[in-house]
Amino acid sequence: MKKFLINFWRIVSHSSSNGIRLFVVCRFFMLQFLFRLKKPASIKFLDKNITFDFKKTGSISTYYHGLNEPHDMMFLGKLLNSKFSFIDVGANIGIYTLLSSITGVKKTIALEPDLANFKELKSNTNKWSCNNVDILNYAAGNDEGYVLLHGDDVAARVTDFSEENLNNNRVKCIRLDQLIPDIKGSKVVLKIDTEGYEHEILLGSEELFQLDQVHSVLVEINTSNIKTGASSSIITFFNNLGYKPCRYDIEKEKLILVDGYNKEQDNTIFIKNENFIEFNNYDHTSEVLGLLKKQRKKIFNFTYSQ
């Protein structure tokens, strides 16, 4: 019972539950029945289906909260269109990749080094018949070659070659600068979620930033990179390039400037001043943004698989 209550409180008190706690509570107790029925199910995500894997954090969080990172997802839902390309670094099972694919972007490139996550990512993009998505079983970093991957699911992270562990996996590593030919002629939005390896990835994308194509970046700044000091390096990197740290306000549908980084959610949005002003003066509500809003308040956001 104690474990049940701790799990319940962790889910209900999560920042993604703000404004929709009644929906989250209902989904939580419904899931207990799903467990007992032991029938295969899929999550209804933006009126389509994705695999419901009880062992995957991306699946469970999407089920409980409708959107596992609502502020950032709604920002993308309002922003992205055919003028953009989207690069998803640390794509996991593909929630952001799937979202970008229906916004009409010119190209989505998803990188996921963990093999189990990659297989789930590939399965989900195939089910959605995504024809504007390239998925790569690669890590990204500051150099080309191979790196070691430790952990799994959302905790999968790149480690140093000197760290010996039989559970580590050797995966190919590329610089994001190598993707420049694939996103030529479009504005670029980056999402980087790599459990503390974000700064090395940014260093491997300096040519991309020099081309002045990068419109905005969603980057995770949490305990992983705060403890290592990488957060200050990330903030300095963007400050030197003239990017401002922001968070997206769901109610106002605008970007709000923050001090240093977003302390209310895991991700901080870094954006240049001219793009910040343009976005906040942009009143168009896209069809995808409407789907995202409805997604959060669906009680029955699952279906039984056939």
Among residues 93, 92, 96, the alpha carbon closest in space to that of 46 is found at 96
Among residues 229, 220, 235, 205, the alpha carbon closest in space to that of 143 is found at 205
- The DSSP secondary-structure symbol of 220 reads E
The SS3 of residue 135 is strand
- State the Cα–Cα distance between residues 235 and 62, nearest whole angstrom: 29
Query: What's the pTM value of the predicted model, to 2 decimals?
Result: 0.90
Sheet holding 145-150, edge to edge: 139-140, 169-174, 145-150, 157-159
Q: List Cβ neighbours of 123 (8 Å cut-off, separation of 6 or more).
A: 51
Q: Spell out the per-residue pLDDT of the chain, length 306, in tens.
A: 777 788 888 888 888 898 899 999 998 888 877 766 666 678 889 989 888 877 777 888 888 999 989 999 999 999 999 999 999 999 999 999 999 999 999 999 999 998 888 999 999 999 999 888 999 999 999 988 888 876 555 555 566 544 444 455 788 899 999 999 999 889 999 999 887 788 899 999 999 999 999 999 999 886 555 555 568 889 999 999 999 999 999 999 999 999 999 988 879 999 999 999 999 998 877 889 999 999 999 888 888 765
Class of domain 70-140+176-291: alpha beta
